[in-house]
Amino acid sequence: MKVLVFGYSENPDRYSYMAAELLKDYKHETITINPRQEEELKKINTDYHTLTLYVNPTISDKYQDMLLKSKPKRVIFNPGTENPVLQKKFETMGAEVVIGCTLVMLRTNQFN
């Protein structure tokens, strides 16, 4: 499955880094985007299944149009990323919205 990790950090102590590594370990094709690096935003397209968010609501609001246009089938709002308005917009367009932890979902076989 192709997964976009939005809010990725190269710092091994960050959960976004841990999630990206675990996704790869579980053989998921993983796309990482750090929104602070503008050139990485070009990697957002409609060619992935799951969007897993690692940004606070202020940042997800800033990039919501771009994220919504990517039309993911599933969006995971990890702890601290909850954004009820954006969640509703994804649900309205037919995406499955999960409020949970990507790391826990992977380790407990609830990700697929």
| pLDDT tens column, 3-38 | 999 999 999 999 999 999 999 999 999 999 999 999
Mean pLDDT of 78-106: 98
In the prediction, which pLDDT does 68 show? 97
Name the burial class of residue 25, with classes exposed (0-12), middle (13-18) and buried (19+) by CB atoms within 10 angstroms of its CB: exposed
Q: State percent of the chain over pLDDT 90.
A: 94
Q: Enter the pTM of the model.
A: 0.96
Dihedral sign (CA 27, 29, 33, 38): positive
Question: Is the CB of residue 44 less than 8 Å from the CB of residue 66?
Answer: yes
Where do the domains of the chain lie, and which CATH numbers do they carry? 2-107 (3.40.50.720)
Asked if residue 41 has pLDDT above 90, the reply is yes
Question: Mean of the per-residue pLDDT values for the chain?
Answer: 97
CB-CB neighbours of 83 under 10 Å: 20
Is beta strand 50-53 parallel, antiparallel or unpaired with respect to 2-6?
Answer: parallel
